[in-house]
Amino acid sequence: MTMNNNNDALNFGDVISANEIPEYDYIILEPGEYDCVIDAIERGQYAGGEKMGPCPTVKVFMHVDTPNGKAFMNNQLFLSKKTLGLLAQFFESVGMKEKGQDINLNWFDQVTGRTARIKTSIREYNGKQYNQVDRFIATKKNATAQQSNFNGLL
């Protein structure tokens, strides 16, 4: 198959030449604190388990820019009263909430493209390593820089 540009659609029966497949390396970050960009969110539903009942979820897709390219990761947030502290951390880290303010879950529609501060570690699963978000960190930089943009949306 010869592709003219990156926007060409593929068909399920296509055979793609190995030399047409771009090189891709999954970048593993050293454990630490990083600024990341929120790329997208995906809404879902948790069926419930031993430690928490059923609740909506939001999977947050993000990346950290590195000298070697983008390091991708995601984190699933559970919309439950049991996780209110984690939700507050997330919204504080993207500059949409300050300590003592209420949380509006409609804010998830406005997080794409925002910068957050995260603490990461490395998770191993099935013999492979992945970037893991341990927590979201509220920073004064995010709270002041992004809050002014957010106030216009209220």
Return the percent helix, strand and coil in the chain, to nearest 5.
20, 40, 40
What's the rounded mean pLDDT across residues 10-21?
82
Average pLDDT, the chain: 85
Report yes or no on 134 lying in a domain.
Answer: yes
Please check the confidence at residue 141 and state whether its pLDDT lies above 90: no
Element of type H or E holding 118: strand 115-125
Q: Do the domain assignments include residue 5?
A: no
Would you say residue 75 has pLDDT above 90?
Answer: yes
9 in any annotated domain:
no
66 domain residue, yes or no: yes
In a domain, 19, yes or no: no
For the CA atoms of 109, 113, 117, 118, what is the dihedral angle to 10 degrees?
A: 70
pLDDT in tens, 93-134: 999 998 888 989 888 999 999 999 999 999 999 999 999 999
Mean pLDDT score, 25-50: 94
Q: CB atoms < 10 A from the CB of 38, how many?
A: 20
Q: What is the CATH number of the domain that holds 107?
A: 2.40.50
Which range marks the domain in which residue 31 is found?
A: 24-151
Residue 29 inside a domain? The answer is yes
Overall domain count for the chain: 1
pTM summary value: 0.76
What is the pLDDT at residue 38? 97
pLDDT (0 to 100) of residue 147: 43
Q: Report the alpha-carbon angle 41-46-48, nearest 5.
A: 160
* Residue 145: inside a domain: yes
pLDDT surpassing 70 at residue 73 = yes
Q: For position 150, what pLDDT does the model report?
A: 39
Residue 1 has pLDDT above 60, yes or no: no
**Phi, psi values for residue 114, rounded to 5°:** -80, 160
In a domain, 18, yes or no: no
